[in-house]
Amino acid sequence: MNYIANMVQPKSNPKIISSGPSSRDSADQLTRALGWFSIGLGLMEIFGANRMSHALGMPRAEGLIRAYGVREIGAGVMTLSTEKQAGLVSRVAGDALDIATLATAIRPDNPKRGNAALALGLVLGVTALDIIATQAVSRRNARRSPGRNYSDRSGFPARPRAAAPASSSASQI
Amino acid sequence: MRALVWHGKEDIRCDTVEDPKIEDPRDAIIKVTSCAICGSDLHLFHNYIPAMKPGDIMGHEMMGEVVETGSGINGALKKGDRIVVPFTINCGECDQCKRGNYSVCERSNRNKDIADKAFGHTTAGLFGYTHLTGGYPGGQAEYMRVPFADTTHIKVPDSLTDEQVLFLGDIFPTGWQAAAQCDIEPTDTVAIWGCGPVGQMAIRSAILLGAKQVVAIDRIPERLAMAQAAGAITINFQDESVVERLNDLTSGKGPDKCIDSVGLESHVSFSQPDTVMDRAKQMMMMENDRPHVLREMIYVCRPAGIISIPGVYSGLVDKIPMGPAMNKGLTFRMGQTHVRRWTDDLLRRIEEGEIDPSFVITHRAKLEDGPEMYKVFRNKQDDCIKVVLTP
């Protein structure tokens, strides 16, 4: 919309002189990076499935890699949304699938098993990041309730526990 | 000066920015003494409202002291006056303002051309909100420029504290308008979805306006406790069926009046499959808002009842059951709040001790802690219901 309407900040609005710390903490930054990585990897898997399957010595897995690409994009979109925790959990689940799939390619009769092992190593590294981000976001966004008592907050100073209506005259113009 | 500035999704910073200046003879500059984080600020925080720009100063609930006035104020304000600023900017002269429809003022939106295209016809300018409503710098700052200041203000007496009157600028008249436009009668059951700050004000307004029974619906225990403190019957939608309980409470007839204080970010739960579908569509940009509450209200509302919507919606919604709504003869009333329409009466009620809106404040913080408080409020941590910031 901003671009369609060519909307700009009015010149008279106060300009930023110096910027303070962001409400986005390191866990949010890592999560965003993983979200964009997920989308990038997903696109690569969809459009480069043929080359990837051959590089991993899994020539019959082209369709599977494309399906994983769709999954990666879905997880990436969710990770970049406000439902980032669900997105990260779906990424960890996807990592488990990737690990299981790559493990089948590391066998003596696969001439590309070195590539598959390298890919498995990378997936394990990303899985570690996904788990770190999931834990940090869960911890940060958890609803911690100290159990404050609001039962005395009626808002009616004259009637601490108001129940009866005061007047039926609505205030209209 | 320091101000809370929007830099992108979930990215609010306490920045140092240029001081505001008088731009028009009808302007005034205020030194902000108190401001608050509103539930609709979270829609901006999550980037659900289109046309925000990096560098926008947040905040539309603020009050302060007049420190400078333009030459066209003509005695309506003077230096040292203590004012609450309504979040809807009104010129006071256009046809809509003269009718009391201040939130659709025809002259205060400086991006009128774009609003005309987006909405069909422009609405009023709003502080600290999207550029579709003018992109005016907001009040989560040390100073703020008030356009049309001769009419866009509520003078408040020194006998009342900031916390007693601050909410005259938004959530109190918003909750009041939501209840008032229900045309409440003494036999009415009013059901209110969402017990956030606006919901809490709507509950008290419905009680003051004489509802027989007020039912408050939420899932957060401390919000339900605060609703109960006012005398509302509460429903925790995670523990029981809203439709069944509302029918039980009304002898099977359904509530006469329903108020949606939730808006576009309704809770997502696998026990309510439509919310999951809405969330998925929203992520894929196939739908802007999550209208679960609207659907539930249409379904449960008593035929010939009124549906009042103070909750913010931003764009397109799917699967609204218009068939039941039409056949049941429901009346829909909604809109941004015509703040000035209500504030004389509400200020009188505060002065007379009929209501003290400060009951809703649960957290007080300095302006520089604002970015953190956005997250505390969003995550409902530490039993947070309403945050007031002091610059």
For residue B354, list chain A residues with Cβ-Cβ distance below 8 A. Answer: 156-158, 166
- Name which of B100, B137, B368 is nearest A173 (Cβ-Cβ): B100
Say yes or no for a CB contact (<8 Å) between A154 and B229: yes
Say yes or no for a CB contact (<8 Å) between A145 and B3: no
Residue A88 one-letter amino acid: L
ipTM of the complex: 0.88
- CB-based contact A80:B8 (threshold 8 Å): no
Query: Does the pLDDT of residue A162 top 90, yes or no?
Result: no
- Name which of B184, B186, B231 is nearest A163 (Cβ-Cβ): B231
Instruction: Give the span between the Cα atoms of B342 and B172, in whole angstroms.
Output: 9
Among chain B residues, the shortest Cα distance to A5 is held by: B114
Say yes or no for a CB contact (<8 Å) between B207 and A19: no
According to the CATH classification, is domain B172-334 in 1.10.10.10? no
Query: Does the pLDDT of residue B383 top 90, yes or no?
Result: yes
For B110-145, the pLDDT digits (tens) are 999 999 999 999 999 999 999 999 999 999 999 999
Instruction: Give the span between the Cα atoms of B338 and B131, in whole angstroms.
Output: 20
Say yes or no for a CB contact (<8 Å) between B382 and A144: yes
- Name which of B20, B21, B51 is nearest A7 (Cβ-Cβ): B51
For residue B135, list chain A residues with Cβ-Cβ distance below 8 A. Answer: 7, 9-10, 13
Whether A163 maps to a domain, the answer reads no
Q: How large is the angle between the packed helices B171-180 and B339-351, nearest 10 degrees?
A: 100
Query: Does the pLDDT of residue B48 top 70, yes or no?
Result: yes
Q: Kindly indicate the confidence band of residue B196, based on its pLDDT and cuts at 50, 70 and 90.
A: very high
A1 at the B interface (CB within 8 A)?
yes
Phi/psi at A121 (5° precision) = -60, -45
Whether A10 maps to a domain, the answer reads no
Query: Does the pLDDT of residue B188 top 70, yes or no?
Result: yes
**How many domains does chain A divide into?**
1
Residue A110 one-letter amino acid: N
Q: Kindly indicate the confidence band of residue B198, based on its pLDDT and cuts at 50, 70 and 90.
A: very high
Instruction: Give the span between the Cα atoms of B339 and B85, in whole angstroms.
Output: 10
Say yes or no for a CB contact (<8 Å) between B7 and A22: yes
- Name which of A141, A145, A167 is nearest B222 (Cβ-Cβ): A145
Whether A9 maps to a domain, the answer reads no
CA dihedral B89, B142, B199, B329 (to 10 degrees): 20
Identify the three-state secondary structure at position A137: helix
d(CA B323, nearest CA chain A) in Å: 31
For B55-64, the pLDDT digits (tens) are 999 999 999 9
Q: What is the pTM of this model?
A: 0.93
Instruction: Give the span between the Cα atoms of B23 and A24, in whole angstroms.
Output: 34
Interface test with A, best of B14, B15, B183, B188 (most A CBs within 10 A): B15
Q: Once rounded to an integer, what is the mean pLDDT over residues B141-153?
A: 98
For B163-179, the pLDDT digits (tens) are 999 999 999 999 999 99
The two beta strands, B363-366 and B257-260, are unpaired
For residue B186, list chain A residues with Cβ-Cβ distance below 8 A. Answer: 165, 168
Interface test with B, best of A13, A81, A149 (most B CBs within 10 A): A13
Q: Chain-wide mean pLDDT for chain A?
A: 89
d(CA B386, nearest CA chain A) in Å: 12
Query: Does the pLDDT of residue A161 top 60, yes or no?
Result: no
- CB-based contact B13:A23 (threshold 8 Å): yes
For A93-139, the pLDDT digits (tens) are 999 999 999 999 999 999 999 999 999 999 999 999 999 999 999 99
Say yes or no for a CB contact (<8 Å) between A16 and B16: yes
Q: Once rounded to an integer, what is the mean pLDDT over residues B297-323?
A: 97
Whether A154 maps to a domain, the answer reads no
Instruction: Give the span between the Cα atoms of B6 and B262, in whole angstroms.
Output: 23
Q: Chain-wide mean pLDDT for chain B?
A: 97
Q: How large is the angle between the packed helices A26-47 and A62-80, nearest 10 degrees?
A: 150
For B17-44, the pLDDT digits (tens) are 999 999 999 999 999 999 999 999 999 9
The domain limits of chain B are 2-170+337-390, 172-334
For B65-106, the pLDDT digits (tens) are 999 999 999 899 999 999 999 999 999 999 999 999 999 999
Predicted pLDDT at A163: 45
CA dihedral B320, B323, B325, B327 (to 10 degrees): 180
Q: Once rounded to an integer, what is the mean pLDDT over residues B183-207?
A: 98
Predicted pLDDT at A3: 58
Interface test with B, best of A30, A169, A171, A172 (most B CBs within 10 A): A171
Among candidate residues B194, B180, B191, B163, the one with its CA nearest the CA of residue B40: B194
Whether A7 maps to a domain, the answer reads no
d(CA A107, nearest CA chain B) in Å: 39
Domain range B2-170+337-390, CATH class? alpha beta
By CB neighbour count within 10 A (0-12 exposed, 13-18 middle, 19+ buried), where does A11 fall? exposed
